[in-house]
Amino acid sequence: MTALDLSSPVAVVGTGTMGQGIAQVALVAGHPVRLYDTLPGRAREAADAIGARLDRLVEKERLTGADRDAARARLLPAEDLPELADCVLVVEAVLERLDVKQDLFRALEGIVADDCLLATNTSSLSVTAIGGALRNPGRFVGLHFFNPAPLLPLVEVVSGFATDVSSATRAFETARAWGKTPVACADTPGFIVNRIARPFYAEAFAVHEAQVADPATIDAVLCESGGFRMGAFELTDLIGQDVNESVTQSVWQSFFQDVRFTPSLAQRRLVESGRLGRKTGHGWYDHGEGAERPEPDTADKRQPPAYVVAEGDLGPASELLEVIREAGIPVRDEGDDDQGASLLLPSGGRLVLADGQTAGEYRDFVYFDLALDYRTAGRIALSASQDTSPQVLDEAIGLFQALGKQVSVIGDVPGMIVARTVARIIDLAHDAVAKGVATEEDIDTAMRLGVNYPLGPFEWSRRLGRTWAYVLLDDLHRRDPSGRYAPSLALYRHAHASDSREGTS
């Protein structure tokens, strides 16, 4: 099954920001496009707005004047639904209400031809439920674009329970022909991106609610250590707290209030108070005119240790040893140690990579967080208990400062910030593949392109080792037995398969 012929007309119903964006994508690809909105005059206004954006593309030399004029000639506002009768594809981008969408597609089914592809851009509703209102749900599919649709490459092509393979394939190939990067997805709450991205927000909020770090510090660690483009607090202020929480609530309810997707009470309070982010001038941060962004907690200068002793295999943090040597700090290698992989400091304290345990369980342990790249990371988070020796903590801070890092000391929280976030993302990704939601490749593509993650979940998993996420989450689950951190059966099987092949138990 190939993409739709570019000479065939495509319709977009709903002329808000997303509807206009999808129409522009189809228009620039070469289709005649019909715009329809239930409010009189809105389709004409949307056509004018799209025309103005085409003018800007010409100014930026991304579109020729001739192509702009041809595209404008192909764009037609429609006053009534019957004007869409000859369209080969209708994409809706209307209010996120099941009854509204179902009523629309029932009406369209009586107007368009039997082979017309019907698509929803819903981000939170069930594609299966919307299509269930149709006489022929086999031609119904989800085409979830990301905002702004003309700029962001990802499109989730969602097959409902009754969607024909041929319909999904035609939608997939059409999105590709429009210059997008499509990924195939089964109809599951949140699809790929909004399902697997939940821990990115949830774990940042949980660390904040535990009062071990403030939003500015958590955001800085996620970006400067984890390599994420934006921190969870800054990003949800940009998205809108009401929008982000609505998606979280939808996924949580759709999974029958699965504890892994539990919404944040702190975010709920923000929404209730009307602090929705940039659009209201205040969210997690103050966005008012002249407001200063709070600075992350950053440790004052400390002296580095005279040396460190490497005990055991640091695993994902093994590159630290070479970075420490390059900074002129001697590294002594003592091989394996019965206390596990760590860096022994001259004071007798130990530096340990975040593993789901707490510093308070051991004498003079300081945990350090996961980094995307320990050589280039600009910031490292350390976690210590109230009983940790000040000398041990000073040496740990001084060591990372000697490597050119800013250091943020947070409270004694298992899994810290980046490590617990990445582990949970990896777990949800494995669970999604095991349940037939999408392939590993499509999930990695979706998370990199849809939310700009530095690595896809399976890229993280391969880099960190097959057992890393399972061990960390299992440790976390022992300390928080609510079920939130219980590793999925899929992740258990993944880790266990590795053990079997390596001949260990």
DSSP 24-51: HHHHHHT--EEEE-SSTTHHHHHHHHHH
Assess whether 7 carries a catalytic annotation: no
Q: Which of 109, 121, 123, 124 is catalytic?
A: 123
Distance of CA 263 to the CA centre of its chain: 16
Q: Is residue 292 classed as helix, strand or coil in its secondary structure?
A: coil
Task: Say whether 467 sits in a helix, a strand or coil.
Answer: coil
Catalytic residue among 92, 109, 156, 234: 156
Report whether 77 contacts 43 (CB < 8 A).
yes
In 3D space, the residue among 124, 129, 140, 99 whose CA is nearest the CA of residue 191 turns out to be 124
Residues 6+ apart with CB under 8 A from 5: 88
Instruction: Select from 155, 147, 152, 151 the least CA-distant residue to 62.
Output: 151
Q: What is the rounded distance in angstroms from the CA atom of residue 396 to the CA atom of residue 382?
A: 8
DSSP of 322-351: HHHHHTT--EEEEE--TT-SEEE-TTS-EE
Please, which residues have CB within 8 angstroms of residue 215's CB and are 6 or more apart in sequence?
Answer: 204, 208, 231, 233, 284, 285, 294
Q: How many whole angstroms separate alpha carbon 241 and alpha carbon 252? A: 16
Point out the catalytic residue in the list 194, 408, 461, 488: 194
As a whole number of angstroms, the distance between CA 419 and CA 186 comes to 28
- What Rg do the C-alpha atoms of the chain give, in angstroms? 26
Query: Is 494 one of the annotated active-site residues of the chain?
Result: no
Catalytic residue among 144, 208, 430, 494: 144
Residues in the chain: 505
Its sign, for the CA torsion 211, 215, 219, 224, is negative
Residue 410's φ and ψ, nearest 5 degrees, are -110, 175
Place of tokens 């949307």: 46
287 classed as catalytic: no
In the annotation, is 194 catalytic? yes
Side chain identity, residue 82: P
Q: Please list the active-site residues.
A: 123, 144, 156, 194
